[in-house]
Amino acid sequence: MNNTMSMKKMERITSIIKFLILLIFGVVLMAPFIWMVSVGFDRTANISMPFPPRLIPEEPSKFNYGIVFENGRLIKSYINSTIVTVSSVILGVSASLLAGYAFSKGKFKGKKIMFIVVLCTLMIPMEPRLIPLYTLFNKMNLLNTYYPLVLPSIISGMLIFLCKQFFDQLPDTLREAAQIDGAGEFKIFFRVYLPLAGPIAATMVILAFIWSWNDFMWPLVVLNDLELQTVPLYLASFSLENGSSLGGLTMALATVSILPIIILYLFLQRYIIQSIALSGVKGE
């Protein structure tokens, strides 16, 4: 009895220690973000940045955030980023789900070679592709439009790989049973496998959203019109125009710029957990 109680006590102490360690790491990781939000509420930071850095401003003010939400250029850049990101996510995730299912369950010639080619694209960074992509869209007269920002994101080697690995875990017996009932490949995909793909779909939406929303280099190359600026481009131009001044306003802009990513992640996190709990099927 005493041994059992002592073991439970040790487990409780171990759990408390783990919790404290994770809490410390969490606070350390969150400190820069908290400081960014705090500086946004510090009106005096527009004159000089507080040093040493403080997590709570001496005189909190909504002045900077009020200016941010009244900023017409920021609102326009938000609209541009929303159009580009939503289009990229819908097209990219849809194409990746179809391609991942085809590579996992499909039977056609050259499947392994094509999948290897898709994986090889993961080893090519964006920088070597800038000039060929720019030349292509320039010849198509699509520069300074949304198309160069959306079309390249339709094919994503990483998302296709994630989908393929996920569908590999689902049993082939589901497909065979549907084929016996006379269902075609598209019907099998949309009626049988797609409802089970909630976890991977939510994960891909988050990844694709972050990649598209935070993309800076490619929009900088193909966009010259200020009316088409995305949020990262506007934030960079605002920082260059004001230099080290208006630090509070810059931090407020940065905070507002990442809010959609945080909201999306918090919203989809619940659906990921629910999807895993309700439809976690593993192939044997």
Token match 């200016």: residue? Answer: 67
Contact 219, 237 (CB under 8 A): no
Based on the domain organization, do 41 and 107 belong to the same domain?
no
> What's phi and psi for 10, nearest 5 deg?
-65, -40
Residue 1: its pLDDT value, please? 53
What is the residue range of 21's domain? 1-70
Based on the domain organization, do 127 and 62 belong to the same domain?
no
Based on the domain organization, do 60 and 83 belong to the same domain?
no
Split into its structural domains, the chain has a count of 2
Token match 């409780």: residue? Answer: 12
Query: 274 vs 26, 90, 162, 198, 280, CA distance in Å?
Result: 25, 21, 19, 9, 10
What amino acid is encoded at 283 in this protein? G
Based on the domain organization, do 44 and 87 belong to the same domain?
no
Under DSSP, the state recorded for 237 is H
Based on the domain organization, do 106 and 145 belong to the same domain?
yes
Spatial neighbors of 149 by CB under 8 A, at least 6 apart, are 84, 88, 212, 215, 218, 219, 222, 223, 230
Rounded distance, CA 117 to CA 111, Å?
10
Based on the domain organization, do 137 and 185 belong to the same domain?
yes
Residue 245: its pLDDT value, please? 65
Contact 229, 84 (CB under 8 A): no
Based on the domain organization, do 39 and 76 belong to the same domain?
no
Q: Which of 49, 70, 91 is the last residue of a domain?
A: 70
Contact 196, 279 (CB under 8 A): yes
Q: What CATH number did the domain enclosing 200 receive?
A: 1.10.3720.10
Residue 280: its pLDDT value, please? 44
Based on the domain organization, do 58 and 83 belong to the same domain?
no
Count of C-beta atoms within a 10 Å radius of residue 253: 23
Q: How many CA atoms lie within 13 A of 175 on its CB side?
A: 19
Based on the domain organization, do 53 and 92 belong to the same domain?
no
Q: For each of the chain's 284 residues, which pLDDT tens digit applies?
A: 556 667 777 788 888 888 899 889 888 888 888 888 888 887 776 666 666 667 777 777 787 888 777 777 888 888 999 999 999 999 999 999 999 999 988 888 888 899 998 888 888 888 888 889 999 999 999 999 999 999 998 888 889 998 898 888 888 888 888 888 888 888 888 888 888 888 888 888 888 998 999 898 899 999 888 888 898 888 888 777 665 567 778 888 888 888 888 888 888 777 666 555 544 444 44
Based on the domain organization, do 140 and 154 belong to the same domain?
yes
Contact 71, 190 (CB under 8 A): no
Based on the domain organization, do 125 and 266 belong to the same domain?
yes
Residue 207: its pLDDT value, please? 86
Q: What are the residues facing 42 on neighbouring strands?
A: 60
Would you say residue 48 lies in a domain? Answer: yes
Would you say residue 181 lies in a domain? Answer: yes
Would you say residue 284 lies in a domain? Answer: no
Query: 232 vs 85, 107, 158, 175, 259, CA distance in Å?
Result: 12, 43, 23, 44, 13
Rounded distance, CA 38 to CA 52, Å?
13
Residue 283: its pLDDT value, please? 41
Would you say residue 214 lies in a domain? Answer: yes
Q: Which of 18, 50, 70 is the last residue of a domain?
A: 70
**Token digits for 77?**
């850049």
Based on the domain organization, do 24 and 111 belong to the same domain?
no
Q: Which of 13, 45, 70 is the last residue of a domain?
A: 70
**Token digits for 35?**
């400081």
